[in-house]
Structure 1
Amino acid sequence: METFALAQVGLFSVWVLGISVGFTACTASCLPYMGSWVMSRNSGMRGTLIDTGLFALGKIMAYATLGAAAGVMGNVLLQYLKSGIGNVLIGAASVFAGWWLIQHRHSQHRRCGLSQRQNMHPLLLGFSLSFIPCAPLAALLAACAAAGSAGQGMAYGVVFGLGAALTPLFIILPLLGGFGRELRSRNPWLEKWLVWLGGGVLVVIGSYRITLAF
């Protein structure tokens, strides 16, 4: 009954459901990944906000993709997600981001030449972290399946993602970035260690997520 009620209420209900994700589970589960990234990057307030925005954009893209797929595949998609594909995607994106940070720790001054590759990682993290089944996502996919249309499913996914994008991470991550910059200004020798720490954390937790899929 809840699924059909969600489908009947429409986009506003889906948006509120997305907000419930952005202010609860999303912040807690995403903070270790994006917090490690921001602390290592030392990119300033503007760069941190850009990274956070790209992370949110990645989530919107993921929910749009999942919504469209559920509109075509029906409830089979949720069962597929429960198989552990989300852990593989998250693990790969996290390991890739951590490896990139460590490999380019001596090239941070060449921001113009590396900007596109830098921007790719928060986008991929946001995209991959949306593939873990939870109650709100299950309700979204059920509504998309009931709609029976890829277009309507994508619309539900986009609106859900816009709600999930309203997250406290837009406050928390700039604060973490500022804390990292303050540590660096007082102790310049910490620069390389913060990069190693953040990159290492991403590699370790990413590797762990991959093991959960097997």
Structure 2
Amino acid sequence: MSPDALAALIAPDGHIGLAGALVLGLSMGLTACTVTCLPYMGTWALGRAGRGRETLVHTGAFVAGRVAAYTALGALAGQLGQWLVDSLQGPLGQRAIGGASLFAGLWLMLAERRAPRAAPPTLHFHPRRHDRARACAGTRLAAAPPFLMGAALSLTPCAPLGWLIGMSAATGSLGEGLARGLAFGLGAGITPLLLLVPAAGVLGRRLRRERAWLGLWLRVGAGGVLIFLGSQRLFSA
């Protein structure tokens, strides 16, 4: 986004309004966000090779993590001001991304696909319903790594985020900063990742269906890639 376009989003009092924050988030979600985040979430979805519902839940968890992080950053910037701006210029973001990626990689590599335990026989027990309930619980639990990766990747330095933090800090208000952060996060949530991550999950399922022995290697390989990416971030910090 050009400086003239950014200037057009600034209100007369010198602050970025909610519409401006939304457009700034949208500009990042459609560009830099995809390039930065796809290696992480694409690898996760490919390694999980989950069903369509699981991939959508995990993609939603990733976006929710980004929205929550941007909202918190806006609120904190409005309250803490320049201190937060200075803190984000340090290694905090790199360490957060590295830690979240390592956590996701270890989750993939150590995940065990155990068969459901036999439940005590009852007149009202339905095995299929029981299996579906366990699968849904597992899907929600496994959404933690995508959520954390989304929140951590929100700390990646970029021009739109810098404008958001700076302008939220200039308001000196927690509420105004929170509103701008939320608008920015909602804009950033509109990203090609909403299509690309499920596509990676479909590819993983197809590979596992055609070559059943690939299931284990997909998880281990994807976990190794995430650990490598996380280690790079930590060492660069």
Q: Is the pair's TM-score, using the shorter chain for normalization, greater than 0.5?
A: yes
TM-score range, shorter chain: over 0.9
Question: Against the structure 1 CA distance between its residues 70 and 85, is the aligned structure 2 distance closer, same or farther, given a 3 Å change threshold?
Answer: same
Q: 1:80 aligns with which of 67, 84, 87?
A: 87
Distance, in Å, in 1 between the alignment partners of 2:101 and 2:169 is 30
Aligned match of 1:197? 221
1:71 is aligned to 2:95: no
Distance 1:108 1:21, change over 3 A: farther
Match among 95, 102, 111 for residue 95 of structure 1: 102
Aligned to 2:181: 157
Question: TM-score, normalised on structure 1?
Answer: 0.93
| Residue number in structure 1 paired with 2:10 | 5
Q: How much does 1:126 deviate?
A: 0.3
Tell me if structure 2 keeps the 8 A contact 1:78–1:133. Answer: no
Measured against aligned partners, the alpha-carbon deviations of 1:11-61 in whole angstroms (never above 9, x if no partner) come to: 111101000110111110000110111011122111111111110000000
Q: Which has the larger radius of gyration?
A: 2
More helix per residue: 1
1:180, CA displacement in angstroms? 1.0
4+ residue segments displaced more than 3 Å = 1-4, 6-9, 105-116
Paired residues of 1:105 and 1:192 also in contact (CA < 8 A):
no
Q: CA RMSD in A?
A: 2.0
Q: 2:201 aligns with which of 177, 180, 183?
A: 177
Indicate the residue corresponding to 2:149 in structure 1: 125
Please, what TM-score do these two structures have when normalized by structure 2? 0.84
Say whether the 8 Å CA contact 1:3–1:139 is kept in structure 2.
Answer: no
Q: Distance in 1 between matches of 2:9 and 2:137?
A: 50
Larger CA deviation: 98-107 vs 186-195: 98-107
Amino acid at match of 1:209: R
For 1:100, what is the secondary structure of its paired residue? helix
Structure 1 residue ranges without an equivalent (≥5): none
Q: 1:130 to 1:3 in 2, by over 3 A?
A: farther
* Number of aligned residue pairs: 213
Q: Distance in 2 between matches of 1:87 and 1:93?
A: 10
**In the alignment, is the contact (CA less than 8 A) between 1:4 and 1:143 conserved in 2?**
no
Quote the offset at 1:105 in angstroms.
Answer: 3.9
Deviation at 1:153, TM superposition (A): 0.2
Amino acid at match of 1:175: A
Q: CA deviation at 1:115?
A: 3.5
Paired AA for residue 180 in structure 2: Y
Tell me what 1:142 maps to.
166
Structure 2: runs of 5 or more not aligned: 1-5, 117-133
Pairing partner for 1:34 from 23, 26, 41: 41
1:43–1:108 distance in 2 versus 1, CA, 3 Å: farther
Q: Equivalents in 2 of 1:149, 1:108: separation in Å?
A: 52
